[in-house]
Amino acid sequence: MYVDVGFSAKARSSGIAVGAAAPLELTFAQLVRAVVDTACQTGEPMNLLIEAPLSVAFSLDGNPTGRSIEERKGKAPRFWYTGPGAAVLVAAQHLIRAVVDAKPRRDIRLIEGFASFKKKDMKSSHAGDVAALRQIVHGQGGGRVVVPEALLRNPTDKVQSAFLVMGLNCGVPPIVVVDG
Protein backbone atom coordinates (compact mmCIF):
# COMPACT_ATOMS: atom_id res chain seq x y z
CA MET A 1 0.00 0.00 0.00
CA TYR A 2 1.34 3.40 -1.02
CA VAL A 3 0.07 6.44 0.88
CA ASP A 4 0.59 10.18 0.52
CA VAL A 5 -0.86 11.42 3.79
CA GLY A 6 -2.53 14.83 3.75
CA PHE A 7 -4.21 16.65 6.61
CA SER A 8 -7.04 18.83 5.38
CA ALA A 9 -10.43 19.49 6.95
CA LYS A 10 -12.36 18.84 3.72
CA ALA A 11 -10.11 18.42 0.68
CA ARG A 12 -9.01 15.13 -0.83
CA SER A 13 -5.44 15.80 0.32
CA SER A 14 -4.29 12.18 0.57
CA GLY A 15 -3.31 9.72 -2.11
CA ILE A 16 -3.44 5.94 -1.97
CA ALA A 17 -2.51 3.09 -4.29
CA VAL A 18 -3.03 -0.54 -3.37
CA GLY A 19 -1.08 -3.10 -5.35
CA ALA A 20 -1.35 -2.36 -9.06
CA ALA A 21 -4.68 -0.50 -8.76
CA ALA A 22 -4.95 3.07 -10.02
CA PRO A 23 -4.09 5.68 -7.37
CA LEU A 24 -6.98 7.52 -5.72
CA GLU A 25 -7.22 10.83 -3.90
CA LEU A 26 -9.09 10.66 -0.58
CA THR A 27 -9.81 12.76 2.46
CA PHE A 28 -7.72 12.05 5.54
CA ALA A 29 -10.63 10.20 7.19
CA GLN A 30 -11.19 8.05 4.08
CA LEU A 31 -7.48 7.25 3.98
CA VAL A 32 -7.41 6.20 7.64
CA ARG A 33 -10.40 3.88 7.09
CA ALA A 34 -8.79 2.30 4.02
CA VAL A 35 -5.46 1.68 5.76
CA VAL A 36 -7.07 0.38 8.97
CA ASP A 37 -9.45 -1.91 7.04
CA THR A 38 -6.57 -3.45 5.11
CA ALA A 39 -4.37 -3.76 8.21
CA CYS A 40 -7.15 -5.61 10.03
CA GLN A 41 -7.51 -8.28 7.35
CA THR A 42 -5.70 -11.53 7.95
CA GLY A 43 -2.97 -12.37 5.52
CA GLU A 44 0.61 -11.80 4.55
CA PRO A 45 2.55 -8.91 6.10
CA MET A 46 1.45 -5.53 4.79
CA ASN A 47 4.07 -3.22 3.30
CA LEU A 48 2.88 0.30 4.10
CA LEU A 49 4.80 3.09 2.39
CA ILE A 50 3.83 6.51 3.75
CA GLU A 51 5.00 9.75 2.13
CA ALA A 52 5.70 11.54 5.42
CA PRO A 53 8.55 11.64 7.92
CA LEU A 54 8.57 8.33 9.81
CA SER A 55 11.88 9.05 11.52
CA VAL A 56 13.28 12.14 13.19
CA ALA A 57 16.81 13.36 13.93
CA PHE A 58 18.29 15.21 16.88
CA SER A 59 21.73 16.73 17.36
CA LEU A 60 24.10 15.77 20.14
CA ASP A 61 22.62 18.69 22.12
CA GLY A 62 19.08 17.33 21.69
CA ASN A 63 17.91 19.90 19.13
CA PRO A 64 16.00 18.86 16.00
CA THR A 65 18.24 18.55 12.97
CA GLY A 66 17.82 17.54 9.37
CA ARG A 67 18.30 14.12 7.88
CA SER A 68 20.55 13.61 4.84
CA ILE A 69 17.63 13.32 2.39
CA GLU A 70 16.10 16.69 3.33
CA GLU A 71 18.63 18.93 1.61
CA ARG A 72 19.28 19.23 -2.09
CA LYS A 73 21.86 21.47 -3.72
CA GLY A 74 20.24 24.63 -5.04
CA LYS A 75 16.90 24.01 -3.32
CA ALA A 76 15.46 25.06 0.03
CA PRO A 77 15.69 22.24 2.61
CA ARG A 78 12.55 20.28 3.48
CA PHE A 79 13.25 19.39 7.08
CA TRP A 80 10.98 17.01 9.02
CA TYR A 81 10.49 19.54 11.83
CA THR A 82 9.40 22.63 9.84
CA GLY A 83 6.58 23.63 7.50
CA PRO A 84 4.97 20.88 5.44
CA GLY A 85 7.25 18.21 6.94
CA ALA A 86 5.93 18.88 10.44
CA ALA A 87 2.32 18.93 9.22
CA VAL A 88 2.49 15.56 7.48
CA LEU A 89 4.41 14.13 10.44
CA VAL A 90 1.41 14.94 12.65
CA ALA A 91 -0.93 13.38 10.08
CA ALA A 92 1.24 10.23 9.94
CA GLN A 93 1.20 9.99 13.74
CA HIS A 94 -2.61 10.06 13.74
CA LEU A 95 -2.72 7.45 10.96
CA ILE A 96 -0.32 5.09 12.76
CA ARG A 97 -2.15 5.59 16.07
CA ALA A 98 -5.42 4.57 14.35
CA VAL A 99 -3.77 1.47 12.87
CA VAL A 100 -2.26 0.43 16.22
CA ASP A 101 -5.53 1.07 18.10
CA ALA A 102 -7.41 -1.10 15.58
CA LYS A 103 -5.19 -4.06 16.56
CA PRO A 104 -4.12 -5.20 13.08
CA ARG A 105 -4.32 -8.89 12.28
CA ARG A 106 -1.12 -8.90 10.25
CA ASP A 107 2.38 -7.56 10.55
CA ILE A 108 2.84 -4.04 9.19
CA ARG A 109 6.15 -3.13 7.56
CA LEU A 110 6.65 0.62 7.44
CA ILE A 111 8.55 2.32 4.64
CA GLU A 112 8.96 6.08 4.36
CA GLY A 113 8.39 7.88 1.10
CA PHE A 114 9.99 11.24 0.27
CA ALA A 115 8.66 13.06 -2.79
CA SER A 116 9.44 16.66 -1.87
CA PHE A 117 11.83 17.88 -4.57
CA LYS A 118 9.79 17.75 -7.76
CA LYS A 119 10.63 19.49 -11.02
CA LYS A 120 9.02 22.92 -11.32
CA ASP A 121 7.08 21.93 -14.45
CA MET A 122 5.52 18.90 -12.72
CA LYS A 123 2.00 19.45 -11.45
CA SER A 124 1.76 18.22 -7.88
CA SER A 125 -0.82 15.57 -7.15
CA HIS A 126 -1.27 13.13 -4.30
CA ALA A 127 -2.19 10.34 -6.71
CA GLY A 128 0.89 11.22 -8.78
CA ASP A 129 3.14 11.04 -5.73
CA VAL A 130 2.00 7.52 -4.80
CA ALA A 131 2.33 6.45 -8.44
CA ALA A 132 5.91 7.79 -8.55
CA LEU A 133 6.80 6.03 -5.29
CA ARG A 134 5.33 2.76 -6.56
CA GLN A 135 7.38 3.04 -9.77
CA ILE A 136 10.59 3.43 -7.78
CA VAL A 137 9.77 0.41 -5.63
CA HIS A 138 9.30 -1.58 -8.84
CA GLY A 139 12.59 -0.28 -10.29
CA GLN A 140 10.90 1.83 -12.96
CA GLY A 141 11.23 5.42 -11.77
CA GLY A 142 13.85 8.03 -11.07
CA GLY A 143 14.61 7.53 -7.43
CA ARG A 144 16.53 5.63 -4.82
CA VAL A 145 16.21 3.79 -1.53
CA VAL A 146 18.07 5.24 1.45
CA VAL A 147 18.93 2.90 4.31
CA PRO A 148 18.50 4.21 7.88
CA GLU A 149 22.25 4.32 8.50
CA ALA A 150 22.65 6.86 5.66
CA LEU A 151 20.26 9.41 7.20
CA LEU A 152 22.79 11.00 9.54
CA ARG A 153 24.20 14.35 8.43
CA ASN A 154 26.58 14.37 11.39
CA PRO A 155 27.99 11.25 13.08
CA THR A 156 26.87 12.54 16.49
CA ASP A 157 23.21 12.96 15.39
CA LYS A 158 20.61 10.47 16.58
CA VAL A 159 17.88 9.21 14.23
CA GLN A 160 14.87 7.51 15.80
CA SER A 161 11.28 6.51 15.16
CA ALA A 162 8.94 9.49 14.77
CA PHE A 163 6.45 7.62 16.92
CA LEU A 164 8.52 7.34 20.12
CA VAL A 165 6.78 10.50 21.33
CA MET A 166 3.56 8.43 21.31
CA GLY A 167 5.13 5.48 23.12
CA LEU A 168 5.52 3.48 19.89
CA ASN A 169 8.90 2.41 18.60
CA CYS A 170 8.33 1.53 14.97
CA GLY A 171 12.04 1.66 14.22
CA VAL A 172 13.70 3.73 11.51
CA PRO A 173 12.43 2.49 8.16
CA PRO A 174 14.17 2.66 4.79
CA ILE A 175 13.18 5.64 2.67
CA VAL A 176 12.10 5.61 -0.97
CA VAL A 177 13.16 8.96 -2.46
CA VAL A 178 11.68 10.40 -5.65
CA ASP A 179 14.47 12.15 -7.57
CA GLY A 180 12.73 14.73 -9.74
DSSP 111: E
- Report pLDDT for 168: 95
pLDDT digits (tens, 9 = 90+) for 62-74: 999 999 998 877 7
Domain residue extents for the chain:
2-178
pTM summary value:
0.92
What Å distances lie between residue 77 and 8, 43, 72, 73, 87, CA to CA? 23, 39, 7, 9, 15
- Give tens-digit pLDDT for 122-147: 556 788 889 889 999 998 878 899 99
